[in-house]
Amino acid sequence: MPTRAEIGVIGGTGFYSLLDEAEDIQVNTPYGPPSDVVTIGRIGDRDVAFLPRHGRDHRFPPHRIPYRANLWAMRALGVERVLAPSAVGSLTAEHGPGTLVIPDQLVDRTSGRVQTYYDAGGAVHVSFSDPYCPHGRAAAVQAARSGDWETVDGGTLVVIEGPRFSTRAESRWFASAGWKIIGMTGHPEAVLARELALCYTTLALVTDYDAGVEEGEGVTMDEVLRVFAENTARLRTLVGDVITALPDERDCPCVHALDGIKLPFELP
């Protein structure tokens, strides 16, 4: 069984396992332990590392996830590309539950989360104009559409602090800005991946309409879990298909994220 991997998968709400035959790996990081043990196995001819973002028992709420430890652990295991399945709400009536969105932009509306590795030892400024890997996005869109999944190519994910859901006023404000989906975990995960020069691709499953889109009681966790559970098997298949479709070599801007930058410490 492999003990290193080239591709990492960080599973979101309801996505707590991926690999049928895998070895559990304990990883120590300068930022404490990751959310759970990392499991490493194979999908096709590729070694894959899987980590449940919230822990297998969903013990970490969005604002308490050890994001820095999670991404550091992935890189320490040799991971170069990360796929990030997650549950999101829709900010538009046209994209209902069950829709898959592969966002190309991100807006941070969190507060208080540590969002960098480079907070001591000298200033490090990493470009983040395009948060997601273009090659990962292309592979995800192609794989999803080949599987007849209604897929939205592009759009902005707004990330809120949580753990509460939005008010109707907040939801309508986000929608008026043209943002398409809303979640609680896409930041700082994406920027930390960029700071480690990892490719990062979000696979966003719409589980609900956000509070401002429709009248009614608003978003409930039961609804989110129900819709995600209905699509978990399909999402697992998609992750495998995307992994198979990724190019053999990385030739994207993510690889060069740290070019010319003097780092205050050595990366794993």
Q: Is 208 a catalytic residue?
A: yes
Q: Catalytic residue at 20?
A: no
Could you say which DSSP state residue 119 is in?
S
Of 210, 241, 248, 251, the active-site residue reads 210
DSSP class per residue in 97-140: TT-EEE-SEEEEE--S----S-SSSS------SS-S-HHHHHHH
3-state secondary structure of 210: coil
Q: Identify the sign of the CA torsion 263, 265, 132, 96.
A: negative
Active-site position among 108, 208, 251, 259:
208
C-alpha span between 108 and 191 (Å, rounded)? 10
- Distance CA(6)–CA(18), nearest Å, equals 16
Active-site annotation, residues: 208, 210
